Amino acid sequence: MQIYPNLILDALKTVRYPGTGKDLVEMGMVEDNIRIDGLNVTFSLLFDKPNDPFIRSVVKAAETAILTYVSPEVNIKGNITVKAKQLSRPEPDKLLPKVKNIIAVSSGKGGVGKSTVAANLAVALALQGYKVGLLDADIFGPSQPKMFNLEEARPYMVEAEGRELIEPAENYGVKMLSIGFFVDKDSAVLWRGAMASNALKQLIGDANWGELDYFLIDLPPGTSDIHLTLVQTLAITGAVVVSTPQEVALADARKGISMFTGDKVNVPVLGLIENMAWFTPAELPENKYYLFGKEGCKRLAEELNVPLLGQIPIVQSICEGGDVGKPVALNPNTITGQAFQALAENVVAQIEYRNTHLAPTQRVEVTKK
Ligand code: ADP
């Protein structure tokens, strides 16, 4: 006899998931990987949580349905793989037990303003009353010490929680550590691979970050083993991707997003941030000049179905603020300060929405029968 995937699906439509009363196909629990080899049938069932109480009974009911409605000769027992969408978030995070949310700030390519956005987002969150920490993990160009006017800072060791810990530097209400504090600028770029990864792990796990609402990580641009290390080390709440509206930047932003959503990394993307969205001259405040193209990030966000969290114009003061160590977000009454306040509000709203409504998108195989 010949068995077809449709016959299997029809059988699975007769099985209801007790949690909702809907059938397995309707629930989207049957993965699109039904394999048929003679009488051998294999496929996977997708559950929300690895500890779903109905896993055993649903698998048993699915086996019975196939034997009943397709043929008693089908070899199905033990051939259904169970997968879970949600990896129970490693909580409390052993490395940062008192940190509520970890945000990775990333970009597809360098020079799009990732570090500027990270610094201003951190300051804007601190102004809104949150406890904020920032780790500058950009080994290719650690610029946070400069942006926070902390170039002279030399983090020291403190005795805390029964251990010797690195005390983060602090300015504008943001606790900050940078890989730049520990290596001189010109050799930072040589810190590839294990050395950089280990140094970053130390800056996370052996530092006195204390209680934080938001811990931001300014990642190196693009994709690297640093990204992998960090996602394997920390339960990252979500990533934001900074890009300019220019086509070449967007192409790299797209790659960045697919890295986060891919199987290896699997971090939810909180949204895109369009930096250098337009230029407005001080003497013509109504005019907007779209130097890098108009609304490129907005279109990409719509296409990829991720939120656009903010649009930041090109303004001389943003650049100057970075150079003199006074992020523009410190002044929430300016256009630029307002843009960063709005961005911070959107990031908080996204995280709160996710924390209350959505299961993390992490997908892991929990049992192989
Ligand atoms: P990245 O971290 O992506 O390499 P940076 O944050 O270092 O980029 O920014 C690159 C340069 O662009 C810096 O000189 C910075 O001051 C400037 N810059 C970034 N965003 C803006 C902006 N919105 N308006 C003006 N200058 C900006």
Query: pLDDT tens for residues 337-350?
Result: 999 999 999 999 99
Average pLDDT on 347-361 reads: 76
C-beta 143 within 6 A of ligand 1? yes
Largest CA distance in the chain: 81
Model confidence, pTM: 0.75
Q: What is the best residue among 107, 116, 242 to mutate for testing ligand 1's pocket, by most ligand atoms within 8 Å of CB? A: 116
C-beta 120 within 6 A of ligand 1? no
Alpha-carbon torsion angle 349, 97, 265, 180, nearest 10 = 90
Identify the band that residue 64 occupies on the pLDDT scale cut at 50, 70 and 90: very high
Average pLDDT over the chain, rounded to an integer? 88
Distance 200 CA to ligand 1 centre (A): 23
C-beta 321 within 6 A of ligand 1? no
C-beta 273 within 6 A of ligand 1? no
pLDDT digits (tens, 9 = 90+) for 185-237: 666 556 666 778 888 888 999 999 999 999 999 999 988 888 888 888 888 99
What is the predicted pLDDT for the residue at 90?
Answer: 43
The total number of residues written for the chain in this structure: 369
Nearest-10 crossing angle of helices 5-12, 55-69: 120
What is the predicted pLDDT for the residue at 113?
Answer: 96
What is the predicted pLDDT for the residue at 225?
Answer: 82
C-alpha 41/C-alpha 48 separation (Å) is 23
3-state secondary structure of 245: coil
Q: Is the pLDDT of residue 92 over 60?
A: no
Q: Is the pLDDT of residue 89 over 60?
A: no
C-beta 113 within 6 A of ligand 1? yes
Amino acid present at 165: L
Ligand 1: atom nearest CA of 275 is 23
Closest listed residue to residue 123, CA positions, set 346, 331, 320, 324: 331
Nearest CA to ligand 1 atom 5: 113
Nearest CA to ligand 1 atom 24: 314
Q: Is the pLDDT of residue 63 over 90?
A: yes
C-beta 135 within 6 A of ligand 1? no
pLDDT digits (tens, 9 = 90+) for 138-197: 988 899 999 999 998 888 889 888 888 999 999 999 999 998 887 766 665 566 667 788
Distance 104 CA to ligand 1 centre (A): 18
Burial class of residue 75, CB neighbours in 10 A (0-12, 13-18, 19+) = middle
Q: DSSP per residue over 73-129, as a string? A: T-B-TT-EEEEES-PPP-SS-SSSTTEEEEEEEEESSTTSSHHHHHHHHHHHHHHTT
**Count of Cβ atoms closer than 10 Å to residue 86 Cβ:** 18
C-alpha 211/C-alpha 53 separation (Å) is 34
Q: What is the best residue among 106, 179, 218, 319 to mutate for testing ligand 1's pocket, by most ligand atoms within 8 Å of CB? A: 319
What is the predicted pLDDT for the residue at 189?
Answer: 58
Identify the band that residue 48 occupies on the pLDDT scale cut at 50, 70 and 90: confident
Identify the band that residue 86 occupies on the pLDDT scale cut at 50, 70 and 90: low
What is the predicted pLDDT for the residue at 357?
Answer: 65
Ligand 1: atom nearest CA of 242 is 3
Ligand 1: atom nearest CA of 109 is 3
- For residue 258, what are the CA distances in angstroms to 85, 268, 286, 345? 18, 10, 36, 25
Q: Is the pLDDT of residue 70 over 60?
A: yes
Q: Is the pLDDT of residue 290 over 60?
A: yes
